[in-house]
Amino acid sequence: MRKDFQFGSLCVHDFTKKITNKSHQLPIYATSSFAFENLQQGIDIFSGKKEGHLYSRYGNPTIETVADKITRLETYGLEMEAKGFLFSSGMAAISSLLMANVKSGDVVLTQNNLYGGTTYFFNEILKPLGVASIFTDFGNLEKVENELKKNKAIKMIYLESPANPTLACVDLEKIAQLAQQYGVKTAIDNTFPTPYLQQPFKFGIDFIVHSTTKYLNGHGNSISGMVIGKDVDFMLEKVWKIMKLVGTNSNAFDAWMLNNGLKTLELRMDRHCQNADALAHFLQKNNQVKKVNYPSLDSHPDFDLAKKQMSGSGGMLSFELKGGFESGLRFVDQLDFCTIAPTLGDVDTLVVHPASMSHMSIPKEEREKVGITDGLIRISVGIESIQDILNDVECAFGKV
């Protein structure tokens, strides 16, 4: 190689091209585009004749490695094909999936107790584009079938199970069967349970979305989302096209942070379940508590269903204080060890009082319909030593 390059060129170019060993950890491909060895290679990759990367909005080795890992987790032990893409957030994943599946005049059948951002997306973005949403109770299968019977414009059933904040579960097998009968596609937000505790493909669901920002990352240090579909051609054509043209793709750094979190998913989920179960039983014994929502308590309305379709109840729970709104405020404010933060699924215990925080703008009658009462507290139980969580909660009860 020539040795006489000028100072400015030495600054710009990377002359050491040969990497002799594979890196132990996944490299971060912080590059917008990929260079070709020669023109023919470029033509072959552009035309699809040869595999390779072009531009990071279309695909990037760091991002694809992580997307493939999550796809393998969602299909673990199942005899099936699937394809997944990683997006810039859970909302980017949800909106891209919907854009790929519905057009003006179509209708989405969904539930009342969705993550707030998804409800806003249906009402504020899809509705003005001509896609209406029907909000129903997926616990009432007769009602669901009636909706499907009378409304042929329904093209997708979109659900969450377990759902915020009461951890209500939807019978995935029965919903998938009904949807197939009426030629409707199904999608589930599997953020709360993760594929470690629930694999919706097993029950016939067509698409899975995640806010990977939550349990899959687990450390609260990156934002991303995932769509996985069992129709590989649809994913490669429609969903990939939306990601590429709307630009909803993830970035290499956030994908890499997510990958670090994924390495301990199994260990973390076991501990989340163990800690949440212990806290749920502890709360149930407290006389200031009216009700505890956690699927593995036999008082939970979906105890049997959760047992059938989940291998553990996860780290999310909620409970209702007898003292209402004021007690809710006082309880949260007295916590010292647990953190007040509007996210979930991290290694540390996170608490919100929905009535005064996430759902403060929703009229009381509306939020109460989906179980968000004045005294409701939601806890994302972390993986700390359980005694410290119990001590903090007990201490806060003493000051309510």
Active-site residues, by number, are 57, 115, 189, 214
Is residue 90 a contact residue for ligand PLP (CB under 6 A)? yes
- Residue 5 backbone phi and psi in degrees, to 5: -70, 150
Q: Minimal distance in Å, beta carbon 350 to ligand PLP?
A: 11
Is residue 250 a contact residue for ligand PLP (CB under 6 A)? no
Q: Minimal distance in Å, beta carbon 213 to ligand PLP?
A: 4
Using the rule CB under 6 A, which residue among 95, 97, 100, 115 binds ligand PLP?
115
Residue nearest to ligand PLP (CB): 90
Is residue 382 a contact residue for ligand PLP (CB under 6 A)? no
Is residue 223 a contact residue for ligand PLP (CB under 6 A)? yes
Nearer to ligand PLP, 262 or 400 (CB): 262
Nearer to ligand PLP, 193 or 328 (CB): 193
Q: Minimal distance in Å, beta carbon 313 to ligand PLP?
A: 16
Q: What is the CA radius of gyration of the chain?
A: 23
Nearer to ligand PLP, 191 or 251 (CB): 191
Using the rule CB under 6 A, which residue among 74, 171, 189, 392 binds ligand PLP?
189
The candidate with the shortest Cα–Cα distance to 295, out of 275, 270, 265, 318, is 318
Single out the segment in contact with ligand PLP by CB under 6 A; choices: 89-97, 102-110, 139-147, 271-279: 89-97
**Sheet of 107-111, strand order:** 83-87, 225-229, 207-211, 185-189, 154-160, 107-111, 132-136
The two three-digit tokens of residue 396, written as one number: 């806060």
Nearer to ligand PLP, 86 or 91 (CB): 91
Q: Minimal distance in Å, beta carbon 220 to ligand PLP?
A: 11
Q: What letter represents residue 35's amino acid?
A: A
Q: What is the C-alpha to C-alpha distance for residues 203 and 174, in angstroms, rounded to an integer?
A: 8
Task: Show contacts with ligand PLP in window 117-156 (CB under 6 A).
Answer: 117
The two three-digit tokens of residue 214, written as one number: 């939550």
Nearest 5 degrees, angle CA 268-CA 270-CA 272? 65
Single out the segment in contact with ligand PLP by CB under 6 A; choices: 64-72, 86-94, 97-105, 196-204: 86-94
Single out the segment in contact with ligand PLP by CB under 6 A; choices: 6-14, 84-92, 123-131, 349-357: 84-92
Torsional sign, CA 378, 310, 134, 228: positive
Nearer to ligand PLP, 148 or 168 (CB): 168
Using the rule CB under 6 A, which residue among 198, 213, 249, 309 binds ligand PLP?
213
Is residue 211 a contact residue for ligand PLP (CB under 6 A)? yes
Residue whose structure tokens are 């209708």: 107
Is residue 218 a contact residue for ligand PLP (CB under 6 A)? no
Using the rule CB under 6 A, which residue among 63, 66, 70, 91 binds ligand PLP?
91
Nearer to ligand PLP, 90 or 328 (CB): 90
Nearer to ligand PLP, 56 or 89 (CB): 89
Q: Minimal distance in Å, beta carbon 229 to ligand PLP?
A: 17
**Judged by CB under 6 A, how many residues of this single chain contact ligand PLP?**
12
Nearest 5 degrees, angle CA 215-CA 192-CA 346? 30
Check if the beta carbon of residue 364 is closer than 8 Å to that of residue 374.
yes
Q: Minimal distance in Å, beta carbon 42 to ligand PLP?
A: 35
Q: What letter represents residue 141's amino acid?
A: L
Is residue 191 a contact residue for ligand PLP (CB under 6 A)? yes
Is residue 372 a contact residue for ligand PLP (CB under 6 A)? no
Q: Minimal distance in Å, beta carbon 89 to ligand PLP?
A: 3
Nearer to ligand PLP, 95 or 101 (CB): 95
Q: Contact residues for ligand PLP (CB under 6 A)?
A: 89-91, 115, 117, 160, 189, 191, 211, 213, 223, 225
